[in-house]
Amino acid sequence: MITMAYLLIFFSAIFVNNIVFSQFLGICPFLGVSKKVDTALGMSAAVAFVLTIATIVTYLIQGLLESYHLEYLQTIAFILVIAALVQMVEIVLKKVSPALYQALGVFLPLITTNCCILGVAILVAQGTYNSQGLEPNLLSGVVYAVSTALGFGLALTIFAAIREQLAMMDVPKGMQGMPIALVTAGLLAMAFMGFGGVDNGLAKVFGL
Amino acid sequence: MKKLPSTLPNMLCVLTLISVIAAGALAYVNKITEGPIEENKARTLAEGINSVLGVSDAKVQETSEVEDTNGNPVIIYSTDKGVAVQAIDPNGFGGTLKVLVGFADDGTIKGYTVLEHAETPGLGAKAGFWFQKGEKGDIIGKNPGEKELAVSKDGGDVDAITASTITSRAFLRAVNVAFHAYAGASATDGQTGASPQQPKN
Amino acid sequence: MKYLKILLNGIIKENPTFVLLLGMCPTLGTTSSAINGMSMGLATMAVLIFSNLIIACIKNLIPDQVRIPSYIVVIASLVTALQMFMQAYTPEMYKTLGLFIPLIVVNCIILGRAEAFAAKNGPVESIFDGLGIGLGFTIALTLLGAIRELLGTGKLFNTTLYSENYGMLVFVLAPGAFIALGYLIAIVKKTLKI
């Protein structure tokens, strides 16, 4: 039963409530680093890495803030933690795995201002994400964060693949660049809308 | 004025200073906004209760919280003008649907309002007025104790919102949960009204 | 004259949405109606003006190596203060904009202007830059919100112009946001020749 609920969180965060197409978070990197599939994959990996760690750390900090009744410092504490975390990950990666650092290095500084990290951290800390009937706790929060990151990666990679093709097309002059990319993203979002309500059906199948 | 050089003591001092000032300023803002925020919450609740009971000066005498069969919280506000119940259904189209329903002494629905929803704008979000008096899915004056509310597709007598059956079902489930909580509470209080029933889904 | 130029620069030449393409998350996420877009624009403008002013005033006190963390603390404090004021005095708006209010912190426009303008100019110029960029952002969001609201629901600022039954619902939903913004940028670029 409980495993099924986690599976449902996983599925719904990737397809039904995709972070980019239905929540509008992380649009800047989605539009900014989606010209090549390689870079898109690198960015997705870096986001998944930082998002998971950031969710865990901010969840613990939220507990600390609540115990001292300092909830109003949430935004400021979270963004500083995320910024520090990104720096730390960068330093550690450089020392421990130069190969991985080579691959992810350029994307790491960009992640601080990626709103899907702060957004997901706040959603998990407040317990307002869709936890499919489970108690919002650290475990379901992390499952949600990982699935969200995968959803982001999926969206980014598909979009980059389309844009690679698009670059070879003969697009009318006024629509070149960002306008045609946005229209493409709109069509992709429409495709993802087809998953709407599937989570309810799955919940029934799983007997939740 | 010249820019401060990046020496370690300089950097530490500046960062600490900025953080302390920021935290102090926020503590002050928090203190002056705390009152209005609480007032707002109380006023929103009072307005909701008044609107679902169709009065303008209901006073909450007692608030009790119970759980429905799925463990979701149901809050019962007993006022001098009637009872208002807040209930949720977690399976709307986009997530949780939270409603506040007012009941008359005989268990009929006096009014309702949707407090929170994550339904599709323009479709499911119509729940706010679709089930009101005189609208297509009118549930006002119905008594869920006599017949559970259900959409006509499921054998009930409430017209579902066009193209939003899932939202309509979730909404009616939440209203039914609210009714059962109300019936259960008034039975233990020994008041007149609907017979006690076990909430079911 | 100089201030007017800074102001117009923010609204037209360096319009954050149409030219710099910054702050896309709130642009797409909060423009389901004209009034929502406008309030998000105004909220961002308020933070931007104050952050520009404060940073222009304290820029010489901050050593170069810690300037980004210092700016972030200033911006985050302003956003939190705004969040609390909105919760207290405009609770309806606070509920509608939801998560996007704390996310003003990571809006690249604000940190970008702090770096590119406030850190190099005086307080008065910085206020005008904040006002200009903020207005540019607000105008863009209101325009996008108005288009989506009109095409999607047949309303404009909650006034019904034609029956909702003829509205194209997709424009209120997520895909419509992307598509409407795409065409809007193309049209603006064409008309302004930029």
Domains of chain B, by residue range, sit at 50-188
**Measured distance CA(C58)–CA(C118) in Å, rounded:** 10
Domain boundaries, chain A: 2-9+38-157
Confidence (pTM):
0.84
Q: Is residue A2 within 8 angstroms of chain C, CB to CB?
A: no
pLDDT at B15 over 90: no
- Tokens 């009072």 locate to B46
What tokens appear for C127 in the block?
Answer: 């206020």
Provide, as residue numbers in chain A, all residues whose Cβ is less than 8 Å from the Cβ of B27. 72
CA angle A185, A190, A191 (to 5 degrees): 95
DSSP H helical ranges for C59-122: 67-89, 91-97, 108-113
Inter-chain CB proximity C60 and B15 less than 8 Å: no
The partner residue sitting opposite C88, judged by closest CB among B2, B37, B44, is B37
Q: Which of A72, A76, A81, A126 to mutate to test the interface with B (most CBs of B within 10 A)?
A: A72
Taking CB atoms within 8 Å and a gap of at least 24, the contacts of B148-156 are B148/B176, B149/B175, B149/B176
Contact indicator for C148, C30 with CB cutoff of 8 Å:
no
Subunit partners of chain B (3 or more CB pairs within 8 A): A, C
What tokens appear for C140 in the block?
Answer: 């863009």
Residues in chain C: 194
* pLDDT tens, N- to C-terminus, chain A (208 residues): 678 888 888 888 899 888 998 888 888 888 888 888 888 888 888 889 889 999 999 999 999 998 988 888 888 999 988 888 888 888 888 888 787 787 776 777 778 778 889 999 988 888 777 767 677 788 889 999 999 999 999 999 999 999 999 988 888 888 888 899 999 999 999 999 888 778 778 877 877 6
Inter-chain CB proximity C106 and A25 less than 8 Å: no
The complex scores an ipTM of 0.87
Contact indicator for A110, A39 with CB cutoff of 8 Å:
no
Sign of CA dihedral A94, A95, A96, A98: positive
- The Cα diameter of chain A in Å comes to 60
User: Which pLDDT tens digit goes with each residue over A27-68?
Assistant: 888 888 888 888 888 888 888 988 999 999 999 999 999 898
**Measured distance CA(C75)–CA(A166) in Å, rounded:** 38
Contact indicator for B100, B52 with CB cutoff of 8 Å:
yes
Nearest of B115, A145, B50 to residue C95 by alpha carbon: B115
Sequence letter at residue C183: Y
Provide, as residue numbers in chain B, all residues whose Cβ is less than 8 Å from the Cβ of C60. 1-4
At B1, the pLDDT band (50, 70, 90 cuts) reads low
The partner residue sitting opposite B95, judged by closest CB among A73, A76, A130, is A130
Q: How confident is chain C (194 residues) per 10-residue block, as mean pLDDT?
A: 85 86 87 90 94 92 85 92 90 83 88 89 92 94 93 85 81 90 91 75
Q: Which of A68, A73, A78, A126 to mutate to test the interface with B (most CBs of B within 10 A)?
A: A73
Contact partners, residue A42, CB within 8 Å, separation at least 6:
A103, A104, A106, A107
Our measurement of the distance from residue A201's CA atom to the centroid of its chain's CA atoms, rounded to an integer in Å, reads 24
Nearest of C156, C140, C39, C159 to residue C89 by alpha carbon: C39
